[in-house]
Every structure is written in C-alpha cells, then in structure tokens.
Amino acid sequence: MSFHLSYRADPGNPWFSWQYVRDNSDTILAALREHAWLTGRAVLIAALVALPLAVAAYWFRSLAGPILALTGVLYTIPSLALFAFLAPYLGIGAITVLSVVVLYALLVIVRNAMAGLNQVPPEVREAAEGMGYGRWGRLFRVELPLALPGILTGVRLATVSTVALVTVGVVVGRGGLGQLIFAGFQNNFYKAQIMTGTVLCVLLALVLDLVLAGIGRLLTPWLRGRVS
C-alpha cells in the first residue's frame, strides 16, 4: 500500500502540524488501520504457533533447549536481512511482513508460556492426577489456566514489540504507519509527518497493551482477589 500526501512542508518545518493532520486524515487513518491489522494478525498467528511449542517443551524437557535455541536464533536475525531473504520467495506485501514479525514474536511468547507452565506447583499437578485427569485434561483444566498470567505477559510483550517492528515493513511496501515515517524522511525530512507516524505507533502500542491487560484481568479473577 502506498500513501500519497497532499501537504507540503512549510519553511518552519514544525514537529507537529494540525494542517498536515487535517489534509491527510484519510491517509493517516488508512495507515493506522493497516498497522493495527498487521499487528493483530501477526500476534494471533504467533500465539497459535508458540503455545503448542511451549507445551511440547513443557511435556518433553529434552525439547526445551532446541525450541528456545531455534526461536532465539530467529530473534537475533536483523529484520532487514530477514525481509531481504523472504521477499524473493513470498513476494512483496503483507504475507512477507506477517512472516517476519511472527518469527520475531515466537521467542517472547514461547519463553513466557514455558515459564508460566513451569510455575504450576507440583502438588497441584499431583492433585489433578489423583482426581483422574489425563495429560490433556490436566493441561486444559489445570495447567494452562494457572499459566495464563505468564502467557498473557508474553502476548503483551509480543504485541508491543510487533507494533514497532511492523514499521520496518515499509521496505516491502506494507509498513502501516512506517509508510508515513519513511515518507517524511523522503519529503525533505518533514518533521510533522514523521512525528505523526511515531506518536500513533506509541499510542497504538499503549492502547493494545491496555486492552490485553484488561482481558487478562477478566480471565484471571483469582489474581484480583489475591491482590485485594
């Protein structure tokens, strides 16, 4: 998606301009929607991949090291290099951006989900076994609910980092708010354009984090009682 802007930088080149926001409101909202869509899809896909990996590492301890090592190696690859590697195979567009940001989100979710599962008290697992729960029943009825705070922490961290990383998708033409920021550098370092994209990225990350925190409170009412 490309964003064509109608406003020219004034001689003062301020860091913020209401005129720029008014003249380009449709473009800004389109970039914000795309950024939120890419972030939401990426975190959802990453969670669907990371949780089974965390469970496998929890059940089979010999897999914990390789799983953490693999996701850790993926996390250390420079984002631009990963875009350059995947673009020839996946093309230029949203699929490439989603693939890259999902790979980066895996480590954060896997590590926190494993930590949450490992913190389930042994006596609780033994009690569940004594009540007749099998491996799957114990997982879904006991272990995952108790590990939920750790899992949600991983999802929140992955969401915030993904909001920032999606901007790098500008290199394949689908960077959401990154398109505004990059276009600002191309437009004679237009500060208002750069600042608008940056501030909206920060606000989007904060809003999504607050939403996930609220969902976490709703899903873990026993923690609220413990704090009070």
> How confident is the model at residue 180, as a pLDDT?
83
Per-residue pLDDT at 152: 95
| Separation between Cα atoms, residue 154 and residue 105, nearest integer Å | 9
Residue 133 contacts by C-beta under 8 Å, 6 or more apart in sequence? Answer: 141, 142
Which pTM value belongs to this model?
Answer: 0.84
Q: Which pLDDT score is estimated for 76?
A: 92
* Cβ atoms within 10 Å of 27's Cβ, excluding its own: 19
- At 202 the pLDDT is 94
The Cα–Cα gap between 88 and 84 comes to 7
Helices (H) and strands (E) in the chain, counts: 11, 0
Q: What is the DSSP string of 195-222?
A: HHHHHHHHHHHHHHHHHHHHHHHHH-HH
Secondary structure (DSSP) of 69-85: HHHHHHHHS-HHHHHHH
- What domains are there in the chain, each with its CATH number? 31-219 (1.10.3720.10)
Q: Which residues of the chain have pLDDT under 70?
A: 1-12, 14-16, 188-190, 224-228
Per-residue tokens: 60: 């089979």
- Three-state secondary structure of 12-71: CCCCCCHHHHHHCHHHHHHHHHHHHHHHHHHHHHHHHHHHHHHHHHHHCHHHHHHHHHHH
* 146 vs 222: CA distance, rounded Å: 10
